Amino acid sequence: EKYSYGMIGLGVMGRNLLYNIADHGFSIAGFDLDHEKIKDLEEQKTSGMNIKGIRSLEDFVSQLETPRKIILMVPAGKPVDAVLENLKPILSEGDIVIDAGNSYFKDTDRRVADLASQKLHFMGMGVSGGEKGARTGPSIMPGGDQEAFGLLQPMLEAIAAKVDGDACTAYMGKGSAGNYVKMVHNGIEYAIMQLISEAYDLLRKGAKLTNDELYEVFKEWNNGEMNSFLIEITRDIFQQKDSLIEGYLVDQILDKAGAKGTGKWTSEQAMEIGVSIPTIDIAVTSRILSAYKDERIKASQLYSHSEVVTPENKEIFIKEVGEALYLSTLISYAQGLALLVKASEEYHFEIPLKDVVKIWRGGCIIRSVLLEKFYAAYTKNPQLSNILLDEDIAAIVKERVSSLRKTAAFAVLNGISSLGLQTALGYFDAYTTESLPVNLIQAQRDYFGAHTYQRTDREGVFHTNWESFNH
């Protein structure tokens, strides 16, 4: 008897996804070069699961039903190509290989073309939700060949997270759209994490809150309109005691952030296709700056910051920080979604924005109740180019702009770094300004480089001999 699915890569994500698939009644075989992982897979399986770890790739392939449906959960980059090189000679026409890792979308395009020459289907599929999500219900972002997708759809819907009975998975578009949507998901994830860390900094340095008090504030936030996965885990982080010394673990963690690349790709992409996503950019670059810890220590001694003034009314301050965080988070989603709109045109993905925000409501790292409001906005207008242009969203924004201004101003005046909040506000101010001062930039460009300019009062392209006027 053959297996319905195959999983290559039995690390934390692969193994948990495999168990999740098996839990829903699908038979699935697993393969990994590391035989220890195959042993773990067998040992930790529960009764009723129709799964098997197989030690040779040839055996693995021969024990799958055709057309084969093989999911890859291996690190992005060379490991994916290495697996494909080994698979290609032993697969047959019509087989489907689904890359569920955080692969770069252009790599997926290349692999789709390569495998198509052998009449094999290759699909990029974003999976979000970490270890627990993979096991109990992630958000799944598949894209690529529609027919191949059709064969996977029932299984994906069974294993994905559910919100009000709806599965958090949908077809994200043609080609490498699945990877692209997941990349932007991660870019937004970076921005929201940056913003939460800034709110934390303002609350601890401004309002002088203890970890216990921070726990209470985040708990309250999570119980209301800010309900989201990232706020929820932040709440719990403030309660985690250290196991090595007295006190809380968060206070002992070195302030140097790591990154695996998806945030950087999002920023690079936005630059490449011409979309402004400054809050995501700043989140990427803030992680980079944080890594220069030794230099930061030296600089902090050279430029000591003055004492942070305690806000007059702590309650009001906390409320404003909350609203600032809520609004800047909304603006980060707006930037990421605007990137998806442009990418969809640029790469002919045909990304259904409405479905994107719908399947992000559950399972993934950036899930939040706010996405319900975006879903409503896209339901009204699926072509919305920027979420900030929706009238109901605008009403939410208008109510909170003054809190964002006050919070950003407090940070600036007190020397508390708040790059995320400031860029969210700066983006908002630029995006909502009819006349920007770039008329002057155009004049300068034309002055020194004859780059020409357009006029507000008539059609055409103009050039002025600036120096002759000025002498």
- Are residues 421 and 404 in contact, defined by beta-carbon separation less than 8 angstroms? yes
Under rule CB under 6 A, residue 132 binds ligand 6PG = no
Nearest-angstrom CA–CA distance, 2 and 52: 11
Q: What's the chain's Rg over C-alpha atoms?
A: 25
DSSP element (H, E) containing 332? helix 314-346
Residue nearest to ligand 6PG (CB): 128
At closest approach, how far in Å is the CB of 446 from ligand 6PG? Answer: 42
> Applying CB under 6 A, what is the total number of residues that bind ligand 6PG?
13
Q: Which strand (E) or helix (H) includes residue 20?
A: helix 12-23
Q: Which amino acid is at 146?
A: Q
Q: Which active-site residues does the annotation give? A: 182, 189
Which listed range, 34-42, 258-266, 314-322, 409-417, lies at the site for ligand 6PG (CB under 6 A)?
258-266
Give the C-alpha separation, 104 to 400, whole Å.
36
Query: 53 or 133, CB closer to ligand 6PG?
Result: 133
Per-residue b/e over 240-279, b at no fewer than 16 CB within 10 Å?
eeeeeeeebbeeeeeeebeeeebbbbbbebbeeeebbbbb
Residue 85 CB burial class (10 angstroms; 0-12, 13-18, ≥19): exposed
Least Å distance, CB 173 to ligand 6PG, is 18
Least CB distance to ligand 6PG at residue 397 (A): 26
| CB of 286 vs ligand 6PG, minimal distance in Å | 12
Q: Which is closer to ligand 6PG, CB of 211 or CB of 267?
A: 267
User: Binding to ligand 6PG by residue 129, rule CB under 6 A?
Assistant: yes
- Contact between 229 and 368 under an 8 Å Cβ cutoff? The reply is yes
Residue 138: asked if its preceding bond is cis (omega within 30°), the reply is no
The encoded tokens of residue 141 equal 């972002």
Least gap, CB of 363 to ligand 6PG (angstroms): 9
Contact 70, 6 (CB under 8 A): yes
Residue with tokens 């230099």: 295
Contact pick of 67, 79, 94, 130 for ligand 6PG (by CB under 6 A): 130
Binding mask 214-253 for ligand 6PG (x = CB under 6 A): ----------------------------------------
- Lookup result for tokens 């007190």: 414
Interface residue with ligand 6PG, options 262, 335, 403, 407 (CB under 6 A): 262
Q: Residue 79 interacts with ligand 6PG (CB under 6 A)?
A: no
Q: By CB under 6 A, name the one of 258, 274, 449, 460 that touches ligand 6PG.
A: 258
Residues that bind ligand 6PG (CB under 6 A): 102, 128-130, 186, 189, 258-260, 262-263, 364-365
